[in-house]
Structure 1
């Protein structure tokens, strides 16, 4: 099957072809025709499968007919974070370049005056975060009664971030006769109730079991002593000689310390976490994309935030506290049909976390010892080719399949996760060996560690340069 078989317009097919794609992913092949037929959709697919294009492409053709009015957007896309909204906007810009459509972003961290000016001109597509949208609606600056198409994207993360009440209120402001598309990587009961309440006879599309990991990713658990994590990681990186890798840590302090350690060992590494300012984050990501650095050490703020082709390996330096994060972490590799390898370091304290992960994905992950993992770290023929560590890695050639855009998302840990996050620290504090070290540490240092040692609260994200662009005639 090709995109030409899905009923898209010639102009849209031309844009998709120029972007280098000809074969839709399963979620796109099933969703696009139904969206074009104006049906409500519940789309469940794992990260990296092209959910974004599955609603962006048909929306462009649907909105090609009609006219926008001031302060009355014709369609609305709700996103949990501004980074995700910015990437959806990039998709509209890329695939809608032959259509006369206007678009605006309504997100935090940006001048409200510029956004109001864009709305006054009238927009076909409004991409918004719930908080900013409700703010402007409450001020009477926007009307939603002309919106005939609603997309709720990353609904499960909306739930985690506490946006469900806002979404329910937004839905009551929209016309009763509208088309609603709901996309999510998982389908918790609360999201199911939301769908039952606001969608009309929806078609359910599930291309992978909820919260499942891609079959393209080889998963391994590596049993390791907590004190030997860094040595084991360095040895595995040397043996595998990875093309590019993302290493996930649970704490910002661990990200910083591990990155410095890798740099001292001669690796070309960088870091991403919530304490880095916006400009530095985007610069670091560009360095990673360009291959200037081929190892990126990151906290969970980047678990859904990296859409970079050719990532051959993912290392969970720390086992994630929340099982959903495991799926999204390893989803940074094995994208768009490529193969990837994901290693998770496991210590004695991680037994409960690993149990929860395996229950979620419904499969047992193979356990190997550190020595065995080092010996078998060499990539297979299916993974990215070897690149000598002293040379600049060559970027992997993107697979000419479907447009896949996975979106970054900021995460606010739930109370349960915070409780889980505190557990390792409480156990460490209770240990007899920890008391002398804690007593010797300066008070100021202890205070800083306490402030910095928790889970990353979220990614404020880079401010995109295309905040008020539209499609030129």
Structure 2
């Protein structure tokens, strides 16, 4: 069996490895370190949790031990998709290079540019960065990549998922073609293969496991669950999750719960806290300092349950994670391999549970096709939720069916409603009028006869007034009066003082004939 002492590493690096407690390299380490030390390009494909980080950090430290860094011109570059993974790689360099005088800088978002610029100005041997922050420094004129000797792309398939491939191609173009490239990924999509064919020169391909396979040390289970109603799916899934955690008992020392959406991360964390479980959320919308504190607390054991989005699915090395719970089936089947790869690391045993609702069955079938394995089913203990208590037991649950949400939108009052609104102020008067004889039951239009035209009106106006009186006495239709307002209309389709045309207020000159107007 190969040992680290057989890999021609720097003696100071070997000493640091021994102090870290490692004696035997993993298959990916044993396959990638010799060609990397020989200066060849390396394409490493291995499932997550197999020690890919040490596969490039150990040969890099050995080669960089000879030489000196120049200001603003780093000697090596490690690209990582997320801040957490970049910080983890930096910790590995600190562990394995503690007996070698090498300088490093970590360029990630959420940290002051000024502090990072000061480190770059002094000159660094190892630059660890996320693509976006690296290009920000370059465009500000604070960084030159022409001195890169070794370039590493870690978790390349995650770079593809996060849309970093154009940035990766640009960064490659900024580095010298004489560089040595170490390219690591858990899966090999067609786009990743195109990049390796373009930017790697005769790479040594090390593939220690079939692509997109999960570790055999992980016990995988699927819990198929059908919610009693669509609007209760979230609360009932949280019940299933809690019962799964409780059923594992003391065996679940710590766990990562994965959700597809950031908003669900916060909701699940809040729900678990409400029921006395020690949980904390981590996702991309949180402040970097908060994400760091949460991750440190999980590693130290002060946080038992880490509720995470896929930002924590790749590359995070917490060796002692006992369980992984998939609250949602991932949309991309490859993400399932990365998620459950957070447990069962370094030869340890692990357990992974996935909650499957009817709408996720198609995605779950894609997962089984990818890993070429049927995941055993587990019967859910939550048969069907009771009517009201199950929906109300969670503070984030949807309202019950009998409690329909009340409308809060106010309707703009119509003109006909203004009289009704004003009548509220005279309620006592209305009550008194209601006790009077039935004179009020008579329609207002019949109480008051139409007024006669004044005697001074010309004779030509009489036919028009007669027609107006006939129209006012005719039965009223329910159509609204478009010619004028209805006075005192309180409903029922009847109007008082219905005005047709100009009524009694018609000016005298309108009734004059053309000849009379002309003569006047």
TM-score range, shorter chain: 0.7 to 0.9
Q: State the alpha-carbon separation in 2 of the partners of residues 219 and 307 from structure 1.
A: 20
Q: State the alpha-carbon separation in 1 of the partners of residues 28 and 407 from structure 2.
A: 53
Q: After TM superposition, give the deviation of residue 372 of structure 1 in Å.
A: 11
Equivalence for 2:248: 240
Q: What's the TM-score, normalizing by structure 1?
A: 0.75
Q: After TM superposition, give the deviation of residue 440 of structure 1 in Å.
A: 4.4
Equivalence for 1:63: 64
Superposition map of 1:369-380 within 5 A: 369-371=379-381
Equivalence for 1:342: 352
Q: State the alpha-carbon separation in 1 of the partners of residues 215 and 175 from structure 2.
A: 36
Map Cα deviations across residues 127-182 of structure 1 (whole Å, 9 max, x no partner): 22222333333344322222121111111122222222222222222222221111
Q: State the alpha-carbon separation in 1 of the partners of residues 376 and 129 from structure 2.
A: 42
- Please identify, of 183-192 and 244-253, the stretch whose mean Cα deviation from structure 2 is larger: 244-253
Q: Which one has a bigger Cα radius of gyration?
A: 2
Equivalence for 2:336: 326
Equivalence for 1:462: none
Equivalence for 1:222: 223
Map Cα deviations across residues 306-330 of structure 1 (whole Å, 9 max, x no partner): 4222221111122222222211111
Equivalence for 1:461: none
Map Cα deviations across residues 171-216 of structure 1 (whole Å, 9 max, x no partner): 2222222211111111111111111111111011111222221111
Superposition map of 1:116-155 within 5 A: 116-155=117-156
Equivalence for 2:289: 279
For 2:347, what is the secondary structure of its paired residue? coil
CA contact (8 A) 2:217 2:350 kept: yes
Name which of 331, 353, 368 aligns with 2:378.
368
Equivalence for 1:304: 314
For 1:182, what is the secondary structure of its paired residue? strand
Q: State the alpha-carbon separation in 2 of the partners of residues 174 and 280 from structure 1.
A: 34
Equivalence for 2:270: 260
Equivalence for 1:231: 239
- Please identify, of 137-146 and 234-243, the stretch whose mean Cα deviation from structure 2 is larger: 137-146
Return closer, same or farther for 1:441/1:244 CA change in 2, 3 Å cut-off: farther
- Please identify, of 330-339 and 154-163, the stretch whose mean Cα deviation from structure 2 is larger: 154-163
For 1:262, what is the secondary structure of its paired residue? helix
Q: State the alpha-carbon separation in 1 of the partners of residues 67 and 226 from structure 2.
A: 63
Q: State the alpha-carbon separation in 1 of the partners of residues 295 and 137 from structure 2.
A: 32
Equivalence for 1:160: 161
Map Cα deviations across residues 42-84 of structure 1 (whole Å, 9 max, x no partner): 0111111111110000000001112222222211112223322
Q: Tell me, which stretches of 5 or more residues in structure 2 are unaligned? A: 228-232, 384-398, 410-520
Q: After TM superposition, give the deviation of residue 288 of structure 1 in Å.
A: 2.5
Q: State the alpha-carbon separation in 2 of the partners of residues 307 and 372 from structure 1.
A: 33
Q: After TM superposition, give the deviation of residue 39 of structure 1 in Å.
A: 0.8
Return closer, same or farther for 1:78/1:288 CA change in 2, 3 Å cut-off: closer
Return closer, same or farther for 1:258/1:118 CA change in 2, 3 Å cut-off: closer
Equivalence for 2:424: none
Q: State the alpha-carbon separation in 2 of the partners of residues 48 and 441 from structure 1.
A: 52
Q: After TM superposition, give the deviation of residue 222 of structure 1 in Å.
A: 1.0
Superposition map of 1:101-112 within 5 A: 101-112=102-113
Q: What's the TM-score, normalizing by structure 2?
A: 0.69
Q: Tell me, which stretches of 5 or more residues in structure 1 are unaligned? A: 374-432, 444-473
Q: State the alpha-carbon separation in 1 of the partners of residues 245 and 344 from structure 2.
A: 18
The count of aligned residue pairs is: 384
CA contact (8 A) 2:222 2:356 kept: yes
Return closer, same or farther for 1:264/1:160 CA change in 2, 3 Å cut-off: closer
Q: State the alpha-carbon separation in 1 of the partners of residues 71 and 78 from structure 2.
A: 18
Return closer, same or farther for 1:130/1:248 CA change in 2, 3 Å cut-off: closer
Equivalence for 2:427: none
Superposition map of 1:386-465 within 5 A: 440=406
Q: After TM superposition, give the deviation of residue 365 of structure 1 in Å.
A: 1.3
Map Cα deviations across residues 73-126 of structure 1 (whole Å, 9 max, x no partner): 211112223322222111111111111112122333322233232222222112
Return closer, same or farther for 1:267/1:83 CA change in 2, 3 Å cut-off: closer
Q: State the alpha-carbon separation in 2 of the partners of residues 220 and 286 from structure 1.
A: 28
> Which structure has the higher relative contact order (CA within 8 Å, separation 6+)?
1
- Please identify, of 216-225 and 52-61, the stretch whose mean Cα deviation from structure 2 is larger: 216-225
Equivalence for 2:14: 13
Q: Is the counterpart of residue 80 in structure 1 residue 81 in structure 2?
A: yes
Equivalence for 1:452: none
- Please identify, of 124-133 and 205-214, the stretch whose mean Cα deviation from structure 2 is larger: 124-133
Name which of 299, 305, 313 aligns with 1:295.
305
Q: State the alpha-carbon separation in 1 of the partners of residues 139 and 255 from structure 2.
A: 45
CA contact (8 A) 2:74 2:123 kept: yes
Q: State the alpha-carbon separation in 1 of the partners of residues 204 and 145 from structure 2.
A: 25
Return closer, same or farther for 1:142/1:252 CA change in 2, 3 Å cut-off: closer
For 1:336, what is the secondary structure of its paired residue? helix
Equivalence for 1:359: 369
CA contact (8 A) 2:85 2:314 kept: no
**Pairwise CA RMSD:** 2.5
